[in-house]
Amino acid sequence: MKSKADKLFRLKQVAKLGLPLGEYTIFGSGPLFIRGLKDDIGDFDLLVTQKIWKKFKNVPGWQQKVALKGSKYLAKGDVELYKDWKPGRWNVNRLIRQSDVIEGLPFVKMSEVLRWKKAYNRRKDQKDIQLILAYLKK
């Protein structure tokens, strides 16, 4: 497992965006990463409010894309900003509001990550589901 310092170094790129708490949260594998359940992740998926989406949509360097399940997102480097989350129906503002703040950054609650991983159910999600279940038992 990577050290806490290594994890925080990777998360600095998220912090550099200067997003205010209450306007975004880190979803996907980020919540597993910060809790030490995954050694590394390829990118950081951020759920953002409509206000943040509109702000970054026209900033040079951010490329608009569509994920496999249809979510629209903006990508720059290994940071992705999502205005919605699929599969399933998610209340983005509630997920943001109820986030756990760890090292000054908001992360979606593990129970919600578990629910999403079960809905997506890819091979990598099946492994993550087991990690999350073990974590939640502690």
Q: Does the residue 138 lie in any domain?
A: no
pTM: 0.89
Q: Does the residue 47 lie in any domain?
A: yes
Domain around 33: 4-109
What pLDDT does 41 receive?
Answer: 81
Q: Does the residue 63 lie in any domain?
A: yes
CATH number at residue 41: 3.30.460
Q: Does the residue 136 lie in any domain?
A: no
Q: Say which residue, 13 or 109, is predicted with more confidence.
A: 109
Cβ atoms of 104 and 26 within 8 Å: the answer is no
Domain count, the chain: 1
d(CA 128, CA 83): 23
Give the model confidence (pLDDT) of 39-85 as tens digits.
878 888 999 999 999 999 999 999 999 987 778 899 998 899 999 88
Q: Does the residue 130 lie in any domain?
A: no
Q: Does the residue 96 lie in any domain?
A: yes
Structure tokens at 48: 């953002």
Among 28, 80, 25, CA closest to 72: 80
d(CA 136, CA 138): 5
Q: Does the residue 88 lie in any domain?
A: yes
d(CA 37, CA 124): 13
The burial of 61, by beta-carbon neighbours within 10 Å (0-12 exposed, 13-18 middle, 19 or more buried), is given as exposed
